[in-house]
Chains A and B, each alone.
Chain A
Amino acid sequence: MSKIPADLKYTEEHEWVRIEDGVVVVGITDHAQSALGDVVFLELPPVGRKLLKGKAFGVVESVKAVSDLYAPVDGDVSEVNNLIVDAPEGLNKDPYGAAWLLKLKPANAKDVDALLDAAGYTALLAKIAK
């Protein structure tokens, strides 16, 4: 079973978000890293880039697969985790911690409320497994 921390919000594209001092931290879920397999490449946008909810903002590649990353909410990139870009295999080890991807200054902080909570994401995964 993949881990789904109760204090995070989730997207249907298997990203998680957490609000930290008014900034939205974005990562991929444990399910996503497990489904991808060993992650070997990560491409993230530069600081300052405007992201639009539901639009691709970057790419994560495993040995076998290429997947787009989708913005959870509208916002401006305020920080990028360059440590994980340089060592993307970290995504397989700590997807909810050290392997966060980027931070966004949200256009509207309330947008985060509309995302799935842990129960909603658990239900989504159960549906996928069927």
Chain B
Amino acid sequence: MTLKRTPLYDCHVAAGAKMVDFGGFEMPLKYTSETTEHMAVRTGVGVFDVSHMGEVFIEGQGAQAALQRLVTNDVARIKDGQAMYAGLLNEKAGFVDDVIVYRFSAERFLVCVNAGNQDKDFIWMRAVVAASALRCTVRNEGPQWSQLAVQGPRAVDVVAGLCGDSVRAIEGYHFVQGAFGAARGIVARTGYTGEDGFELYVKNADAPALWDAVVAAGAVPCGLACRDTLRLEAGMCLYGNDIDDDTTPLEANLSWIVKLEGRPPFIGMEALQAQKAQGPQRLLRGLVMVERGIARHGYDVVDEAGKKIGVVTSGTQAPFVNKAIAFAYLDRAHSDVSSSVFVLIRDKPVKAAVQKLPFYKRSA
């Protein structure tokens, strides 16, 4: 399989990025040091090329009803210009993907999906709509759009410098259609870092000039390595690591994106209701290593007696909180916050404390 490239590929190579395969795309892992880039986002401003993310438009009279059928969150609760995080589930309530739904109007929505899932999601959404009597179209515009995530406490200054001071008034999880110089696009106050920030959607041809302008305004180019450590500190799931076709939102600490009452049914709802009544058997929790060691994806978690009680889904040495942290699914009986567990690191049990997510929360 040949890897796809984003319109910013040449910018990354020129900036000295180390490139890696991610979700079928050749993406920058880092430019200088992942730790430096991480700290730039926590204390200043960084910019990520997230053009690999997919954009699916759902349009027509039945658009809102189609989304209500497709996702876990109640799409009727957002207004024009508002966005919402949601799960796209299969019948067993496992994640097909986790997505952000943007509402332009009751008849026009954008669904931002993960890079590696975009073909699967598009086929899924189209099949669900086709099987219904709903009048709407599902269009994959992923290949035409680029996306830049400008993140950090100074992100608002950089974006205001490009688009005007009116962007300062955009609330979290809201967006406007705006202008970047000669280009037009979407300015959304969303992100995946735990910081204030924006995601800027433009057509591919406009992406390199926007990237250059954002970097010239002082944003530090940031790669996927620090995107991963930032989202881990902020307690956000990564599809393929922490959630997948076999994990449900109730298990993944994401019950806040599930609305079971006062709304039309969605795919996976019955399975979730059953799981809720019974209580999930495993729960996603944070781990902080108490003894020296770094828990990694796939490592087993055991109790004092050495019995397996869970598995690590993500882990790293977190640059800003300065601790070795991890996400793990733990058997419900062992998921109490502040209890002690052990991560098997190279066959050696290493002590960790169970903690509530997130590990990092920005001060308001």
Interface, chain A (partner B; CB < 8 A): 37-38, 40-41, 59, 61, 63-64, 66, 89, 92
List residues of B (211-235) whose CB comes within 8 Å of A's CBs: 225, 228-229
Complex Cα spacing A63 to B294, Å: 9
Complex Cα spacing A64 to B317, Å: 9
Contact between chains at A38 and B34 (CB < 8 Å): yes
B346 within 8 A of A: yes
Complex Cα spacing A40 to B346, Å: 17
B154 within 8 A of A: no
Interface, chain B (partner A; CB < 8 A): 29-30, 33-35, 225, 228-229, 292-294, 296, 316-317, 319, 324, 346
The secondary structure that dominates the B interface is: mixed
With A37-B225, A40-B317, A41-B317 in contact, do A63 and B293 touch (Cβ < 8 Å)?
A: no
> Could you list some 19 contacts between A and B, CB below 8 A?
A37-B29, A37-B225, A38-B34, A38-B35, A40-B294, A41-B292, A41-B293, A41-B324, A61-B294, A61-B317, A63-B34, A63-B35, A63-B229, A64-B29, A64-B34, A64-B228, A64-B316, A66-B294, A92-B33
Q: Which of B30, B292, B296 contacts A66 (CB 8 A)?
A: B296
Complex Cα spacing A92 to B35, Å: 12
Interface centre among A37, A40, A63 (most CB of B within 10 A): A63
Interface centre among A41, A61, A64, A92 (most CB of B within 10 A): A64
Contacts of B296 in A (CB 8 A): 66
Complex Cα spacing A92 to B30, Å: 15
Contact between chains at A37 and B33 (CB < 8 Å): yes
Contact between chains at A64 and B294 (CB < 8 Å): no
B321 to chain A, nearest CB (A): 13
Complex Cα spacing A59 to B296, Å: 14
Whose C-beta in chain B lies nearest to the C-beta of A56?
B346
Whose C-beta in chain A lies nearest to the C-beta of B33?
A38
Contact between chains at A64 and B292 (CB < 8 Å): no
Contact between chains at B225 and A63 (CB < 8 Å): yes
